[in-house]
Structure 1
Amino acid sequence: MLVIIILLTFIHICHSAVINPNNHHSAVISSGDHHFLKLPLHHINPLQTPSDAVISDSARLSVLLATLHRHPNLPLTSGAYAGAGQYFVTLHLGTPPQPLLLIADTGSDLIWVACSACRNDCNATRPPHSAFLARHSGSFCLHHCYDPACRLVPKPRPVGACNITRLHSPCRYEYSYADGSITNGFFAKETTSFNSTTGKLLQHDSLAFGCGFKISGPSVSGPSFNGAQGVMGLGRGPISFVTQLGRRFGDKFSYCLKDYTVAPPPTSYLMIGTNDRNPKMRYTPLTTNPLSSTFYYIGVQNVYVDNVKVRISPSVWDLDKMGNGGTIVDSGTTLTFLPDIAYRRILTAFRRRVNLPIPEGSPPNFDLCYNVSGINQRLSLPKLSFKLVGNSVFSPPFGNYFIDTAEDVKCLALQPVTSPGGFSVIGNLMQQGFLFEFDIGRSRLGFSRSGCSKSR
């Protein structure tokens, strides 16, 4: 607490109105009447060779699945904190800018970074760029506890009285996760810059974010966090990155997640706004859950294996009046999670169609694995398709749901949701190779394979 008190003596409190997504002066890329911000996405620990990819990805997935089985509710918050398969974006905070690596996560709202109150010789006590040095920025300020913006973040307990007459009464926040991990600190405001694909540093005058001084738990402080300094929340709530950038970018964003096991790994992109129209884009409505404003819910009607409908009651996919169930699209979750009854019937459909040997010592966390020794080059596996509301069909290639877990071993990368009230998650492995457009203004999700093959 002494560190926090010292910080407050050097940082001023900003008094502001509610977060206004239209009140900014960002530098943006313009093309005709379109405005967009294009940011490269990176995968952590780029893999050097295909053999390394098999070993490394298998190890990360083992950690991921072990965590999920210990904490079955983890997918109900965000899989970004499970430790495998995330995509990262570089954000520069402060004046002068300090580069930080954040997980790009559509399954959460809060933008937060690890913070430090260090003033002198900071690199001697911690690695460079491992935290945001608030006292090194000339534009950092804390939201006052009476600011309307402070109402938008969860508070630590017990919450002390907010004294409007005190200069140093900052807005405190505490964001917690299902496994007990937390980020706790001050809700602040800062000048923000981005490395764009044009090589220019683009500036956004004011971004509200969590400055975390207490970060604990395996999800956000252990080795599974893979060296990230925080999270860029891309959810639908009022404090998310995409909401704060606002209507100037057309209330939409998109990304193309490329296969990070390829060597060298191709560049993925996060596009805030849009610069062209894709005639091959297919759309499905986004559903709103009044009890969970963060997530991007879509409606699943049926599932097909090799174009044969799997016998699953449509009610299995429903979002009920209590906010339970439904299906979300999440860039921060690696694997895809489906209702247990749907998962079991899809599993049966695959077993009926695939006549390949079962490997000895199959990975314990996967229910369906095959030995593909000698047939990798001509391997063909059943096609999995999801019919969505709006008559659009999402049909990913089998490489998006059969993954290498060991040499010559492929496993079905689906997991069952067994917790009561749990919802389904379309994870980032299933999304690879598609351009996904989150059109918040028109409440719809678009997807297309044609927009992901080219550099946009």
Structure 2
Amino acid sequence: MAMMILMLLLFLQSLTSSIKATTAKTNRGVSFSYPHFQRLDVKQSIEETKLNLTREIERKEPNGKLRLVHRDKMMSLHHRDHHDHEQRFSDRMKRDVKRVASLTGQLRYEAEAFGSDVVSGMEEGSGEYFTRIGVGSPPRSQNVVIDSGSDVIWLQCQPCHQCYHQSGPVFNPADSASFTGVSCSSAVCNRLENAYAGCSQEGRCHYQVSYGDGSYTKGTLALETLTIGGTTIQNVAIGCGHKNQGMFVGAGGLLGLGGGSMSFVGQLGGQTGGAFIYCLVSRGTGSSGSLEFGRESMPVGASWVPLVHNLRAPSFYYVGLSGLGVGALQVPISENVFSLTEQGEGGVVMDTGTAVTRLPAAAYNAFRDAFIAQTTNLPRASGASIFDTCYNLNGFVSVRVPTVSFYFTGGPILTLPARNFLIPIDNVGTFCFAFAPSPSRLSILGNIQQEGIQISVDAASGFVGFGPDVC
């Protein structure tokens, strides 16, 4: 009897230690290993796909934050006929495929904190997010796409020889007292690198940027004053686009947040230390996320992952990924699948402009099969668009699904909310596993998987932090 009591005490002590270890891991922010299953609110997700997000975007915000708006919300405001979720979803995935092809193609060759809000709007099938900034003196409000994979800041400008539809008036340089053209001999013009397109007869610096979905902008380079969250930044190099075409519907331009010297982050330089924080609000909600620059104190409890520098693609934010998890299991995938080679191939890029996370085919297949093996209780549906793993959840209020996790190099584990990996593709209950195979060795962590998680990018220190705060 004494031996049995002793064994029972030892078991209880071991169990208590295990619980404490798990709790300690959870308290480090977004590093979770337990529980291994969670609930997906099917009914709420379907209802959110039916919402007509027609709330007014422009409102006064407190200093310190930029409001980020998902581009779909702009489309719902100005194109009310875009009401079919399935069609919007299909269009969005087509654009996402083109963007990924573009990224993989490219890879083959001290101030106070300020910012604005971020709002999601997946309802029209778009993959981007918007923020609202002031341009010129006096400032004119413009909605711009935020893009961590781009460097050039640009706006549609008058005279507009070729422009797509945007919300609000096209920016007119003649109305700004601070607008100054850039000459071809300027050092700023020489920093354009791949976006440089030559000189005009008047000696003005021209730029041209093309994107993977066929969109492009052409025009002249200028120095202008930008106002963000009540903070004014002078002499920012921007592209003044006179010929623009593409899928930017609603946006007046683009705010590049890449790691290059011409991006907004690069131009701020020492003023913010190359640091910014963003939180992409979960799609379908009417709330806002945020975009902040130069915050002195980074989130307590965040899980920090080293940035990986790629000399062949210095503008992209690479992170080290060692594996993937489904439920209680780490999927048997070699870490080499996610590594960045000395030739600059492969690796894992975080991108706000790509919607769906892409993984090398071998990793994706193993990951998908592990998820299927733990969801045999759910009725399957036919594949749709780029997704080959879908479920018919029509009639369900909620379902139990295994957790999905990213294992980052060095130990941090990012466990995703269920709505970040099972997404509705129509309004009748078809949900798909929101990952897809990559056309190359490159992995891309898309914005669907980033939604609702506070992400801190500190390029100067060489780290990116995840959580623990949510939008």
TM-score (norm 1): 0.77
Would you say 1:319 and 2:340 are equivalent positions? yes
Aligned equivalent of 1:251: 274
Do the aligned partners of residues 128 and 380 (structure 1) sit closer, same or farther apart at CA in structure 2, a change above 3 Å counting? closer
Report the equivalent of 2:416.
396
Distance of 2:194 and 2:406 partners within structure 1: 39
Match of 2:455 in 1: 436
Corresponding residue for 1:452?
470
1:71-94 Cα offsets, whole Å, 9 max, x none, are: 76134379xxx9613211112111
- 2:156 and 2:244 in contact (8 A); partners too: yes
> 1:83·1:226 contact (CA, 8 Å) conserved in 2?
no
- Any stretches of 5+ residues in structure 2 without a counterpart? 1-60, 107-123
Please tell me the residue identity of whatever aligns with 2:223: K
Identity of aligned residues (%): 30
Counterpart of 1:189 in structure 2 is 223
Q: Of residues 121, 129, 144 in structure 1, which corresponds to 2:168? A: 129
Q: CA RMSD in A?
A: 3.0
- Partner Cα separation in structure 1 for residue 306 and residue 84 of structure 2: 37
TM-fit CA distance, 1:139: 1.3
Is this contact kept in 1: 2:166–2:251, CA < 8 A?
no
Structure 1 unaligned spans of 5+: 1-28, 31-35, 119-125
**SS of residue matched to 2:314:** strand
Is 1:41 the equivalent of 2:61?
Answer: no
Change in CA separation of 1:92 and 1:83 when aligned onto 2, cut-off 3 Å: farther
Which moved further from structure 2: 293-302 or 354-363? 354-363
In structure 1, the partner of 2:34 is: none
Query: 2:94 matched to which residue of 1?
Result: 66
1:144-168: per-residue Cα shift (whole Å, max 9, x none)?
10111111114679846x8xxx9x3
Residue from 215, 219, 240 that aligns with 2:263: 240
| CA pair 304-361 structure 1, distance change in 2 beyond 3 A | closer
Distance 2:381 2:339 in 1: 38
Matches within 5 A, 1:40-439: 40-46=67-73, 57-69=85-97, 73-76=101-104, 84-117=126-159, 129-154=168-193, 159=198, 168-194=202-228, 196=229, 201-216=230-245, 220=246, 224-262=247-285, 265-274=286-295, 276-359=297-380, 361-377=382-398, 379-406=399-426, 407-419=428-440, 422-439=441-458
3-state SS in 2 of match to 1:116 = coil
Shift in Å, 1:226: 2.3
Say which SS state the counterpart of residue 138 (structure 2) adopts: coil
CA contact (8 A) 1:77 1:108 kept: no
Q: CA deviation at 1:363?
A: 2.2
Task: Give CA-to-partner distance per residue, 1:37-95, whole Å, 9 cap, x none.
Answer: 421112234499xxx9x9655433211223455676134379xxx96132111121112
Taking the aligned partners of 1:428 and 1:146, their CA distance within structure 2 comes to 39
Distance 1:225 1:41 in 2: 15
Closer, same or farther: CA 408–185 of 1 in aligned 2, 3 Å? same
Q: Structure 1, residues 343-366: CA drift from partner, whole Å, max 9, x if none?
A: 111111111111245455542431
Alpha-carbon distance in structure 2 between the residues aligned to 1:39 and 1:436: 15
Is the alpha carbon distance of 1:209 and 1:83 closer, same or farther for their aligned partners in structure 2, counting shifts above 3 Å?
Answer: farther
User: How far 1:405 moved relative to its partner?
Assistant: 1.0
Using a 3 Å threshold, how does the CA distance of structure 1 residues 64 and 76 change in structure 2: closer, same or farther? Answer: farther
Distance 1:358 1:55, change over 3 A: farther
Which amino acid is 1:391 matched to?
G
Query: How far apart in 1 are the matches of 2:422 and 2:464?
Result: 24
The size of the alignment, in residue pairs, is: 385
Tell me by how many angstroms 1:105 deviates: 0.9
CA contact (8 A) 1:350 1:382 kept: yes
Deviates more, 1:353-362 or 1:302-311: 353-362
Q: Deviations over 1:270-325 (max 9, x none)?
A: 01011544221110100111011111000101111113121212111011122111
